[in-house]
Amino acid sequence: MDYSAAGSDQKKLRNGGGFQAAFPLYHMNRHEQTNVPEKPKQKANLKQEKPMQTKQSVTNINILSTAIAAFGLLSMLLAVSETAQAQARNDVPPAVFQAAGTTAASIQSTVDAFRARLGDPNNLNNPGPLEKGRREINWDGGNPNVLDTTAPVNPFLVFLNTRGSQFKTPGLGLSQAPPSGGPQGGLAVLFGNPTYAKIFKAFSLSRLFTPVGSNITEASFSIPGTNGTVPATVRGFGAVFTDVDQQADSNPNHKASTLIEYLDKDSRILFSSSVPASPGDGSLSFFGIVFDDARIASVRIQAGNVAPGPNDDRRHDIVMMDDFIYGEPQLLQGK
């Protein structure tokens, strides 16, 4: 269990430019400034004659020079003040919550701490705007007997009006399904791979969430009750994953399979990280962050290093998602 400001694979980026097309995120670098050498100054022409200046003209010039210098100093102070305010708003790192293990108990205390940091109550399907609390999605309505496999849809709008979130994927669509069973056979039938019946485990029974035809899921937020017409931001977002096997380490050939980006209203990356791994079938992982203010406009998740379908092996880390937990959506400021 780890409540840290940032891990080795985590970065807080203030000057990103939208979703990054290439992963892994831990290779992203800041832009460096290079110093351009000054051109040599030309020597003044000492022989050039200057017009004679009267006392009055000299006085006027001095007054003008003083005014210009004072204005320049004021402008510089204002710029420094604005920069300091911007840094004070944006440089405070988020609280980071992460854990991984073989059972639900391995991550339960971290998930509970994350919920507590976001605050009570769980606002369920109540319309907003609301000042406090959080929203949660567990893909089965809290009923472990819900075993239906939903057909892939894109965008996924089931919780758009009730909980202020919508999800998209570059692939075919997004589905809810148990690992196996139910009328449609679950993930094992959805992806035509019977091994999926045993390698995934739900944190909250019984269904999981997955993109189809991609391993990318993009989330955005709006005020609940507005059917997506009023954009919103949240102060925190966390997700549960199952069967994350691969994580980056000192070996350059070992790369994290599961990654998450948090973006602001201008699609600039606020924070990015890999999700902790726990090798072995059916493991569970959690990753989430919380800022002091609602600045997260969207989230981009890479679940596994390939789209679901192949067998889960050393080359293919297939990952599914479970509970999404996020701060109460707040009205987007400065649109």
Question: Which position has the higher pLDDT, 107 or 5?
Answer: 107
- Residue 103: inside a domain: yes
Asked whether residue 308 carries a pLDDT value surpassing 50, the answer given is yes
Please determine, for residue 67, whether its predicted confidence score (pLDDT) is greater than 80.
Answer: no
Total domains present in the chain: 1
The pLDDT assigned to 9 comes to 55
At 100-122, the pLDDT tens digits run 999 999 999 999 999 999 999 99
Label residue 90 by pLDDT band (50, 70, 90). low
User: Is position 47 within any domain?
Assistant: no
- Report how far residue 265's alpha carbon sits from residue 188's, in angstroms, rounded to the nearest whole number: 37
Q: Is residue 63 part of a domain?
A: no
> Domain for residue 221, yes or no?
yes
Q: How confident is the model at residue 126 (pLDDT cuts 50, 70, 90)?
A: very high
Round to whole Å and give the CA distance between 260 and 272: 6
190: buried, middle or exposed (CB in 10 Å: 19+, 13-18, 0-12)? buried
* Contact (Cβ atoms closer than 8 angstroms) between residue 221 and residue 128: no
User: What does the alpha-carbon distance between residue 59 and residue 53 come to, in Å, rounded to a whole number?
Assistant: 10
Most confident of 9-18, 37-46, 91-100: 91-100
Please state, in angstroms and as integers, the Cα–Cα distance from residue 197 to each residue in 40, 178, 181, 238, 243, following that order.
73, 8, 8, 25, 12
Identify which of 193, 212, 183 has the alpha carbon closest to the alpha carbon of residue 321.
212
pLDDT at residue 249, rounded to an integer: 87
End-to-end CA gap in the chain: 37
Question: Within a domain: residue 75?
Answer: no
Mean of pLDDT over the chain: 82
Of 50 and 249, which is predicted with more confidence? 249
When pLDDT is averaged across residues 165-175 and rounded to a whole number, the result is 98
Whether residue 171 is contained in a domain is answered as yes
pLDDT at 166 over 60: yes
108 in a domain, yes or no?
yes
Tell me, yes or no, whether 194 lies in a domain. Answer: yes
pLDDT digits (tens, 9 = 90+) for 233-249: 999 999 999 999 999 98
**By residue range, what is the domain housing residue 166?**
2-17+94-331
Q: Which of 47-51, 57-61, 290-294 has the highest mean pLDDT?
A: 290-294
* Cβ contact 130:235 at 8 Å: no
* Percent of the chain with pLDDT strictly greater than 70: 73
Residue 33 has pLDDT above 80, yes or no: no
Give the model's confidence band at 335: pLDDT under 50 very low, under 70 low, under 90 confident, else very high: low
Alpha helices in 208-267 (DSSP H): none
Is the pLDDT confidence value at 39 over 50?
Answer: no
Separation between Cα atoms, residue 118 and residue 327, nearest integer Å: 6
At 334, the pLDDT band (50, 70, 90 cuts) reads confident
The average pLDDT across 271-292 equals 97
Q: What is the CA radius of gyration of the chain?
A: 27
Predicted local confidence at residue 32, as pLDDT:
37
